[in-house]
Amino acid sequence: MADIVLFTPLVELDAAENLQGFIDMCREKLTVFGANLPFQDNVWDVTDSVAIKGRGKKRVRITFSNAATVGANAQEIMREPFLSFAKAYLRYMHGMRPTKVIHNRVAALRAIEAALSERIEAPSPVRIDSHILNRAAQIVVDRFSDGAAYRVAGQIELMATFMAENRLLAIPARWRNPVKRPSTAVRVGKEFDERRAKKMPSSAALEALPQIFRAAVEPVDVITASVAAVLLAAPDRIGEVLSLPECCEVHEPRKGGGDAYGLRWWPAKGAEPMVKWLVPSLATVVKDALRKIRSVTEEARRIAKWYEQYPHQIYLTNDVSHLRGRDWLSLAEIAEIMGFRQGNAARSWCKAEGIKLERRHGLGKLAFARFLDVERSVLGMLPSGFPVFDKTTGLKYSDALFIMRRNELGAQRGTYRCMIEPIGIGQINTGLGSRSNFGFQSVFDRFSFVEPDGSPIVVTSHQFRHYLNTLAQAGGLSQLDIAKWSGRRDVRQNEAYDHVTPEQMLHKIRGAVGEEQMFGSLAELPKKVMIRRDEFARLVIPTAHTTDLGYCIHDYTASPCQLHLDCINCQDLVCVKGDVRKTAMLRRRLAESRDLLCKAETAREDGYSGSDRWIEHHRSTVERYSKLNSIMEDPTVPEGAVIQLAPPIAPTRIKREKVRRLPAQTDDTQVDLPAEIRALMEE
């Protein structure tokens, strides 16, 4: 475990001296990223310190290049003295606040270094001020998407706060992230359509995958299609799928007969381990997918088991097991052991591994290598951390579901018969088309499936999660259930995965017209009508848009809104029970309205003119908020129920004037009221 040392700035020192002390401490005393971290190097390998599920054999490296050359073949390194601070800050903050997305921190540092370099020749961190930070935020906005810019700018704010609190700035300043979090509330227009299309798999992909799943034979196609089948059965992260053990299935007897079927999961972002139960229609598909995955990964688990039992001996298949104990191996024999198709590949491999080739006396020009040298090189190819596959759960490679023989999923390379590797996210996304434009064939390409316009089908593993969450939202599943189903700790994260279209939203509201799940004036419509109920719903509810409490079904083609920002007093407000975020907003509005009513009553006691009308308005508002809140909290009202309050009775000036002229009524005096006024008040 890494040693963490808290940095304490000295009050009597200036910013430059505190900065140097901070850098020295991070270089010499910290063990974050490893005690032997080459601090002076400009590329750090931090794979063992950043726990990313499903990364496969991909290494996690930090390159301290500047913003202008990031991603280029010839990258330029950040300039001193900012470079040393960037290294120290990354090491210190990863100890204090570890993150899996460490490259967001690096991107924030690059943006600040670029902003500093525009103003001063030597980018010194102590010269950072609000102008520099604002410029850095602008650089981030120009280079990243809205969501990524918000997250990277948040890291800039974190760094600015850290420097101000630890006296590392010549001019201390409090700075707040000016980049707004992208809103997903708008559900109409071109922007929403583009965002939805980007987050969701296309119809062509969803139609092609079942056919590919049934026809797949090659390991790369079997793995890709089977992973897609599992991801379409439950909203899982790809890293969670690739971390599954071989024995992940759970069977449990049900009261009604038969077995419930589910998979045992370890969520990647903090939620508790769980069993995700599958509906019977999908259970058969997932069982078939897991059977196919096991069939193509069985040999890799056998190899892993060998290396766990015999960590100092190379694995040899049965047809070459007679070579064990030999002192020398020919290139042809090395090719057989490794799985190379010809001796030239064995020669190239020996050269790359630094294995010395020699000619043996009396055997002509044939080249030989020592068996021990070959064995040593092969053992050095074992995955990092072997035999542990997942540090979080302690899962071993021999028990993991998603491991393959090395290069078995790569069409361009030969498969190693004696070495294994974990299946990574990149390999799955490549199979789904993420690199089709770079010459890498996807399963869709190999089975000749394309989009309707002829373009290649491209899907990412995360789009399936968005797709299932949107189906759950459209189907009326409660926000808490969606969060639990998706393995989230915070229900507020559901919003980012909600891509319900206006048509789906309208269908949901219209479907409740006149049914048991409708509460309010629409529920009182007669059951026997002269037209079909769905047609009537289209007439009553021609359109809808989202609000902070629910949905507005006002027809703007007929008239503009008469109660702007006063939705609770409008009959066109429709709410759906189960939305945690909007229910919390309802309770907050109720508390605010009660407070405003108390203030209005106080104002009347103080003799303020017009306070009576405010009391009347706030009292009506409190009553409607209370009525709506009581329905939301009523356990007899099912989750997903569509609720509409009855239209409020709007007071007219004539009614107000009649009530105002009434004599004041006391406790011991009964006032004779005219019949007309009494009838008016009884309304």
- At residue 575, the 3 state secondary structure works out as strand
Burial of 257 (0-12, 13-18, 19+ CB in 10 A): exposed
Mean pLDDT for the chain?
A: 82
Contacts of 675 (CB under 8 A, 6+ apart): none
pTM: 0.61
CA distances from 528 to 525, 535, 627 (A): 9, 13, 29
Query: Do residues 548 and 582 touch, judged by C-beta distance below 8 A?
Result: yes
First-to-last C-alpha distance (Å) of the chain: 74
Q: Which pLDDT tens digit goes with each residue over 532-541?
A: 555 445 545 5
Torsion of CA 100, 101, 102, 108, to 10 degrees: -150
Which residue, among 284, 279, 243, 657, has the nearest Cα to 468 in the 3D structure? Answer: 279
For residue 591, count other CB atoms closer than 10 A to its CB. 12
Mean pLDDT calculated for residue range 394-403: 93
Provide the 8-state DSSP code for 121: S
Q: Which pLDDT tens digit goes with each residue over 539-572?
A: 455 567 778 888 888 877 667 888 888 888 888 8
- At residue 135, the 3 state secondary structure works out as helix
Query: Do residues 56 and 421 touch, judged by C-beta distance below 8 A?
Result: yes
Banded pLDDT at 92 (limits 50, 70, 90): very high
Mean pLDDT calculated for residue range 40-55: 80
Label residue 33 left, alpha or beta by phi (over 0 means left) and psi (-120 to 50 means alpha).
left
In whole angstroms, what is the distance from residue 318 CA to residue 461 CA? 38
In whole angstroms, what is the distance from residue 180 CA to residue 150 CA? 6
Provide the 8-state DSSP code for 396: E
Q: Which pLDDT tens digit goes with each residue over 326-351?
A: 899 999 999 999 998 876 889 999 99
For residue 608, count other CB atoms closer than 10 A to its CB. 12
- The domain spans of the chain are 15-165, 203-297+427-463, 318-379, 501-650, 654-683
Q: Which pLDDT tens digit goes with each residue over 253-290?
A: 887 777 889 898 877 666 678 888 888 888 899 999 99
Which of 457-466, 660-669, 671-680 holds the top average pLDDT? 457-466
SS3 assignment for 332-363: HHHHHHHCCCCHHHHHHHHHHHCCCCEECCCC
Structure tokens at 150: 């918000």
In whole angstroms, what is the distance from residue 331 CA to residue 312 CA? 22
Query: Do residues 293 and 402 touch, judged by C-beta distance below 8 A?
Result: yes
Query: Do residues 200 and 467 touch, judged by C-beta distance below 8 A?
Result: yes
Which residue, among 273, 230, 225, has the nearest Cα to 393 in the 3D structure? Answer: 273
Query: Do residues 675 and 683 touch, judged by C-beta distance below 8 A?
Result: no
